[in-house]
């Protein structure tokens, strides 16, 4: 068998079937592996493929603030105008659809959503997803759900495609990077209506020559992992989260202990002007770097984010350095 030759742009059948089985088992969503699943060389490229497939100059895209910066970057590369919709702690980090309804949506072609949300860790409810599907249908907007954190420290994973009628207005990106610790392997997939998959595939086929077959076969095995795998992964992240929360507490930050996903998102003390000011001071004085929320949009400027990708020894060392910095500077 030729493992080293060009592969199908649409991925090998075994991988598409494995994704279909996984969606049925985990979300009770039935997908046709022949035409409703498109394997990707990482889900990040799917953001670009969707943008290049559906956007052109003059189109507008709704993008969350705070949110993953790639949504905006891809839209701009496609020549579209980015329209940010603000997410706030007061509103649970979910879109205020009443505000969106008052906007001029005539040129909006696409809306990005991401639940569990990065960076806040907010969990999208079935009610939210239903409201978003209805909103997208009313305004003929393609709803793009980026869903890589569904199984990280989350007892209630969902797909937007669970909502009746969602297939007509929404697509979903997923990834093996987070749940299966395969970030460097670059394996993801897009799922949705066969027409959407066909349209994106038409663009994608001009950008690559298929995914290396052994990687696809490895992805098949990953998707077959039993529940014990998910428990073991989350046991590791849970231990890291305890340390990340201790770091935030040491800094006087406040946070929602109910947040899910791969990060701890916390509000900084009022004594600092924004997250960058605190992050810069920590880096310079304590030699600890923590991501300032500003990089995810101005609605994140009063926050810091710690990634649970950092291993326990690193988090423990960071906590020790911060405790020493506090003592040396007589900080409460």
Q: Given this model, what pLDDT does residue 332 score?
A: 58
- Note whether 242 and 258 are same-domain residues: yes
User: What are φ and ψ of residue 267, in 5° steps?
Assistant: -85, 135
- Note whether 200 and 245 are same-domain residues: no
- Note whether 137 and 278 are same-domain residues: no
Question: What is the count of structural domains for the chain?
Answer: 2
Q: Given this model, what pLDDT does residue 327 score?
A: 87
Q: Given this model, what pLDDT does residue 255 score?
A: 98
- Domain end call among 199, 223, 247: 223
Kindly report the number of other CB atoms within 10 A of residue 324's CB atom. 11
- Note whether 37 and 171 are same-domain residues: yes
- Note whether 68 and 217 are same-domain residues: yes
Pair 322, 286: CB distance under 8 Å: yes
- Note whether 41 and 23 are same-domain residues: yes
User: What are φ and ψ of residue 271, in 5° steps?
Assistant: -75, -10
Whole-angstrom distance, CA of residue 39 vs CA of residue 197: 10
- Note whether 18 and 125 are same-domain residues: yes
Whole-angstrom distance, CA of residue 31 vs CA of residue 36: 6
- Note whether 143 and 278 are same-domain residues: no
Whether 5 is in a domain gets the answer no
Whether 2 is in a domain gets the answer no
Q: Given this model, what pLDDT does residue 329 score?
A: 82
| Cα dihedral across residues 268, 272, 276, 282: positive or negative | negative
Q: Given this model, what pLDDT does residue 242 score?
A: 98
Q: Given this model, what pLDDT does residue 331 score?
A: 63
Place of tokens 């300032």: 292
Whether 3 is in a domain gets the answer no
- Domain end call among 175, 195, 223: 223
CATH number at residue 279: 3.90.1150.10
Q: What's the CA dihedral at 300, 62, 51, 170 to 10 degrees?
A: 110
CATH number at residue 64: 3.40.640.10
- Note whether 253 and 172 are same-domain residues: no
- Note whether 46 and 83 are same-domain residues: yes
- Note whether 313 and 166 are same-domain residues: no
Closest Cα partner for 27 from 143, 134, 150? 150
* Average pLDDT by stretches of 10, the chain with 332 residues: 89 98 98 98 95 98 98 98 98 97 96 98 95 98 98 96 98 95 93 98 93 96 96 97 98 96 97 95 97 98 97 98 89 60
- Domain end call among 190, 223, 256: 223
- Note whether 295 and 218 are same-domain residues: no
Q: At what angle do helices 194-204 and 43-54 cross, to 10 degrees?
A: 100
147: domain range?
Answer: 13-223
């Amino acid at each position: 068998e030729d493992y080293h030759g060009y592969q199908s742009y649409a991925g090998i059948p075994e991988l598409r079937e494995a994704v279909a089985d996984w969606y049925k088992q985990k979300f009770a969503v039935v997908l046709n592996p022949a035409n409703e699943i498109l394997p990707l060389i990482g889900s990040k490229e799917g953001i670009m493929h969707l943008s290049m497939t559906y956007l052109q100059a003059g189109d507008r895209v709704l993008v969350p603030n705070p949110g993953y910066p790639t949504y905006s970057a891809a839209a701009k590369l496609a020549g579209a105008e980015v329209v940010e919709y603000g997410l706030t702690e007061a509103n649970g980090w979910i879109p205020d659809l009443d505000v969106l309804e008052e906007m001029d949506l005539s040129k909006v072609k696409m809306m990005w959503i991401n639940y569990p949300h990065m960076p806040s860790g907010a969990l999208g409810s079935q009610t939210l997803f239903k409201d978003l599907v209805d909103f997208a249908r009313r305004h003929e907007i393609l709803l793009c759900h980026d869903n890589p954190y569904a199984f990280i420290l989350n007892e209630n994973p969902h797909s937007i495609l669970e909502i009746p009628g969602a297939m007509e207005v929404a697509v979903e990106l997923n990834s093996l990077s987070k749940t299966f610790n395969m970030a460097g392997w670059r394996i993801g997939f897009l799922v949705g209506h066969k027409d959407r998959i066909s349209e994106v595939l038409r663009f994608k086929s001009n950008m690559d020559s298929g995914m290396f077959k052994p990687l696809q076969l490895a992805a098949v095995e990953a998707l077959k992992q039993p529940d014990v795998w998910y428990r073991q992964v989350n046991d590791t992240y849970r231990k890291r989260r305890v340390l990340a929360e201790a770091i935030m507490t040491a800094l006087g930050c406040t946070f929602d202990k109910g947040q899910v996903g791969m990060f701890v998102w916390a509000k900084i003390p009022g004594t600092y002007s924004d997250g960058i000011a605190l992050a810069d001071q920590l880096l310079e004085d304590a030699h600890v770097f923590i991501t300032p929320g500003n990089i995810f949009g101005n609605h994140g400027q009063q926050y810091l984010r710690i990634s649970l990708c950092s291993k326990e020894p690193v988090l423990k060392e960071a906590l020790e350095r911060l405790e020493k910095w506090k003592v040396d500077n007589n900080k409460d």
